[in-house]
């Protein structure tokens, strides 16, 4: 029996939500919320969080149909706010991402500690429509607001000992109450090889759908690495460290036989407990066939060269 799988190239242009439509919808929602005093008005937002009406589109934007805003912000993995998919949204009000500062440390010439506003000021924000493929077998298509990770890292002038970059999430039980339970070894840590980090695809995201990042999606600043399983895209980052040795990434340390350091999306390498050949697109009706998972999540042209000659079964 063969299954007809709808790929991104089969999606009609009319099915893709044009930006003007969702921006209008967001504007409408904001007005509706603001009038019922449920959402902060612009005046109440932090200084750096101005609205971004006309963002330039990244050259790598996916043309897939966007996952609706409601799904992107209510079906989440953020164990610091609970382990259920709906917990992060339900507990989002417990996490106030202000004030926020980021430390840059390790093998570089220009380390420092920066408040968020100063940290993001040098970069032109763009919109990056990326597929996010979770290791659990589901995916979303999200219009992020962010800037190039490589552009940011270069500012700190990594030296020749910088072979990896390590990222760390805020450790604070009072703001991230899930850290009171030892479900993971806190704080959450992730890492990339320096050449992966310097590839033009990964971004530091500060928003989605044209607005600031909701707490449940990793406010106020997170990583997005679209060719790797979602857990590499660490949320709510407070520290970036250039290192000579491979960082001790949280899920890799927790279960090394299940979650490799690389964790490149690869339909040919199954998770020990399930297949990675297909994925459920969140927000699509349950009767729609699953999507075929693509090598490197469809970004092979941009990243396959990083792994030339590497055994991707061994280095999964």
- Residues in the site for ligand MTE, rule: CB under 6 A? 76-80, 132, 134, 169, 188, 217-218, 230-231, 233-236
Report how far residue 298's alpha carbon sits from residue 153's, in angstroms, rounded to the nearest whole number: 25
Report, in Å, the least distance between residue 111 CB and ligand MTE: 22
In whole angstroms, the minimum distance from the beta carbon of 179 to ligand MTE comes to 10
* Beta bridge partners of residue 166, listed in sequence order: 191, 241
Q: Which is nearer to ligand MTE, 125 or 282 (CB)?
A: 282
Q: How far apart are CA 81 and CA 143, in angstroms?
A: 23
Residue 163: Cβ-neighbour burial (10 angstroms; 0-12, 13-18, 19+):
middle
In terms of CB distance, is 107 or 279 closer to ligand MTE?
279
Q: Of 121 and 254, which CB lies nearer to ligand MTE in the complex structure? A: 254
∠ Cα 308 195 293 (to 5°): 60
Beta strands in 87-228 (DSSP E): 101-106, 112-115, 126-133, 138-148, 164-169, 189-193, 203-208, 211-212, 222-224
Closer by beta carbon to ligand MTE, 132 or else 240: 132
Closer residue to ligand MTE (CB): 17 or 233: 233
Cross-strand partners of 147: 204
State the minimum distance, in angstroms, from the CB of residue 222 to ligand MTE.
Answer: 7
Give the shortest CB-74-to-ligand MTE separation in angstroms: 10
Least CB distance to ligand MTE at residue 211 (A): 14
For ligand MTE, the closer of residues 217 and 243 by Cβ is 217
Least separation in angstroms between CB 253 and ligand MTE: 14
Q: Are strands 278-281 and 291-292 parallel, antiparallel or unpaired?
A: antiparallel
> What is the Cα–Cα distance from 181 to 5, expressed in whole angstroms?
40
Element (H, E) at 89: helix 87-90
* Closer to ligand MTE by Cβ: residue 80 or 107: 80
CA-CA-CA-CA torsion sign (192, 195, 196, 197): positive
In angstroms, what is the minimal distance from the CB of 308 to ligand MTE?
27
Q: Closer to ligand MTE by CB, 137 or 200: give it.
A: 137
Q: Which residues contact 221 (CB under 8 A, 6 or more apart)?
A: 100, 102, 116, 119, 120, 204, 205, 206, 213, 236, 237
Q: How far is the CB of 236 from ligand MTE (least distance, A)?
A: 6
50: region left, alpha or beta (phi > 0 left; psi from -120 to 50 alpha): beta
Asked if 220 and 206 count as a contact pair (C-beta separation under 8 A), the reply is: yes
Closest CB to ligand MTE belongs to which residue?
Answer: 230
């Amino acid at each position: 029996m063969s299954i007809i799988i709808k790929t991104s190239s089969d999606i009609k242009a009319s099915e893709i939500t044009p930006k003007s439509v969702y921006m209008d919808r967001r504007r409408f929602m904001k007005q509706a919320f603001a009038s019922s005093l449920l959402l902060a008005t612009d005046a109440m937002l932090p200084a750096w969080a101005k609205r971004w009406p006309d963002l330039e589109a990244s050259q790598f934007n996916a043309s897939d149909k966007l996952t609706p805003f409601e799904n992107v912000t209510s079906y989440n993995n953020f164990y610091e706010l609970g382990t259920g998919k709906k917990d992060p949204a339900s507990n989002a009000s417990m996490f106030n991402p202000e004030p926020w500062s980021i430390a840059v440390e390790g093998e570089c010439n220009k380390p420092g500690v920066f408040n968020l506003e100063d940290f993001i000021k040098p970069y032109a924000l763009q919109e990056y429509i990326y597929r996010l493929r979770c290791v659990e077998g589901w995916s979303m298509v999200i219009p992020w607001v962010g800037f190039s990770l490589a552009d940011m890292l270069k500012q700190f002038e990594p030296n020749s000992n910088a072979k990896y970059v390590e990222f760390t999430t805020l450790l604070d039980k009072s703001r991230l109450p899930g850290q009171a339970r030892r479900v993971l070894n806190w704080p959450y840590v992730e890492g990339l090889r320096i050449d992966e980090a310097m590839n033009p695809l990964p971004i530091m995201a500060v928003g989605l759908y044209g607005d600031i990042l909701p707490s449940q999606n990793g406010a106020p600043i997170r990583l997005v690495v679209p060719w790797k399983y979602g857990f590499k895209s660490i949320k709510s980052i407070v520290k970036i460290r250039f290192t000579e040795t491979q960082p001790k990434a949280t899920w890799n340390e927790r279960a090394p036989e299940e979650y490799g350091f690389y964790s490149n999306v690869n339909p040919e390498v199954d998770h020990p407990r399930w297949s990675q050949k297909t994925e459920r697109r969140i927000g699509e009706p349950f009767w729609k066939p699953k999507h075929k998972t693509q090598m490197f999540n469809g970004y092979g042209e941009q990243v396959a060269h990083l792994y030339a000659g590497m055994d991707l079964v061994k280095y999964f």
